[in-house]
Structure 1
């Protein structure tokens, strides 16, 4: 069975089913959780339909490691985002989107495209027939980068959750911990982990064209930095704290994504 086709159909099938359910219930509560569930489901399916010969135990172990990496991130982030949206009684991103059923359903399809793009590099691992001992260190380097990114993202999310849980911080912005060296350290970690999984897959590329899959983590990075992640949060932050000199100083002196690079000094008090 062609795993690229299987994952494509499974992925968009899940998005369509839950997208229709979300339309009927008029809720976005389980949007992020379903995205994470899709990653986990597709990764497990790839191992279930693995056609690797029984004698090739090493490549099976490599596939399991890659699968665990994807599932660990998806399970961690999905449960965290579900907890956050339930606690806040909704997702602000969908206030305007839900007013149009077509637009709302389209967001689910966009999520499907995002899931599939991020799965593509790993699919080269899941479809591999044998290991590549000469490039084993490349995969190890990729998994190490993934682990660093995952830990970085997890710590950043934990620090912000703890900060917000304190009543005295209810209307404040966080500038401590990892948030003192990056305004979006969780996003930095997520970008790193996807590049890590791409690097881990490199030894199992079978064509020079496979290297084009670097566009997958790159598009995710661009989505985070230029479209749906940083811009939305920065706009919201300026609306809330734009007249606070301390917030403007934080924007001007702290890197947006990459830690310790410093700000760009382009923001002024409203």
Structure 2
């Protein structure tokens, strides 16, 4: 327990510094959505701090903690680069505009920087625990890597499909309802959830580490209800063609689209 608290304390300091730097960058950019770029990198930093802490304290299993570093770093780097390219040169993300409407500066700081920082530490908890504990069942780790690979692939393919769709002038004003987007309205969020459930499976060591299930549960909650799918759906409501697209396409878990006999219309 002492080793866990020591590593956790360093992680909190690193995440606090990351959020402070992001707040400064967001002020210069004039938009809170800068934090979306920090999210993946901050979780990669947590994984690296956990692995280095476990090594320094000579506890945990080297193969597991460095495997987790690779998994989190690959996911986080790809996500952060994607968010940077998507948001750079644009105004505030409508989700943040809606979430922060009417909030005071202090409330905004709590809703964005404090909440995001706490979420990073919470979501990274399985990685932290795995860095200072031993045990587990290797086939479970293999299953976790497979689920992580599914999630990263789903997320990357979905992002690439949407980028190609938007780059074609013929699709201007149309809803993206092709490829993975015909099976789920949020393939990127579904992929994120798979990634973190996979990381949780890799991280399992002692029976006590099962309690860290709160982390993938929290991540899934964020992705579906808090700052992810539901919030984006509310932003899209009322746009021509959205109701029909939503009626035939699963919100989160992929499934074959329902056939309504209507074609795509306006405007993701």
TM-score of the pair, normalised by structure 2: 0.84
After TM superposition, give the deviation of residue 38 of structure 1 in Å. Answer: 1.4
Instruction: Give CA-to-partner distance per residue, 1:65-114, whole Å, 9 cap, x none.
Output: 11010111110001101110114344223335387322331211111111
After TM superposition, give the deviation of residue 45 of structure 1 in Å. Answer: 2.2
8 Å contact kept, 2:64–2:203: no
After TM superposition, give the deviation of residue 200 of structure 1 in Å. Answer: 0.9
After TM superposition, give the deviation of residue 219 of structure 1 in Å. Answer: 1.5
After TM superposition, give the deviation of residue 155 of structure 1 in Å. Answer: 0.5
Aligned residues: 251
8 Å contact kept, 1:52–1:60: no
- Residue of structure 2 aligned with 1:51, choices 19, 44, 56: 56
| 1:227 aligns to 2:226 (yes or no) | yes
Q: CA 1:141 to 1:87, structure 2 compared with 1: closer, same or farther past 3 Å?
A: same
Q: Which region of structure 1 is more displaced relative to structure 2, 212-221 or 231-240?
A: 231-240
After TM superposition, give the deviation of residue 248 of structure 1 in Å. Answer: 2.7
Structure 1 alignment gaps of length 5 or more: 266-270
Structure 2: distance between partners of 1:21 and 1:157: 25
After TM superposition, give the deviation of residue 191 of structure 1 in Å. Answer: 0.8
| 1:193 aligns to 2:198 (yes or no) | no
Structure 2: distance between partners of 1:169 and 1:104: 36
Structure 1: distance between partners of 2:222 and 2:42: 19
8 Å contact kept, 1:16–1:109: no
TM-score of the pair, normalised by structure 1: 0.83
Partner of 2:244: 249
Q: Which region of structure 1 is more displaced relative to structure 2, 160-169 or 31-40?
A: 31-40
Aligned residue runs from structure 1 range 171-210, under 5 A? 171-202=173-204, 204-205=205-206, 207-208=207-208, 210=209
Q: CA 1:239 to 1:87, structure 2 compared with 1: closer, same or farther past 3 Å?
A: farther
8 Å contact kept, 1:32–1:78: yes
Q: CA 1:52 to 1:79, structure 2 compared with 1: closer, same or farther past 3 Å?
A: same
- Residue of structure 2 aligned with 1:33, choices 22, 31, 37: 37
Q: CA 1:213 to 1:261, structure 2 compared with 1: closer, same or farther past 3 Å?
A: farther
8 Å contact kept, 1:23–1:101: no
| 1:147 aligns to 2:149 (yes or no) | yes
Q: Which region of structure 1 is more displaced relative to structure 2, 76-85 or 164-173?
A: 164-173
| 1:125 aligns to 2:126 (yes or no) | no
Instruction: Name the Cα RMSD after superposition.
Output: 2.5
Structure 2: distance between partners of 1:254 and 1:149: 19
Partner of 1:268: none
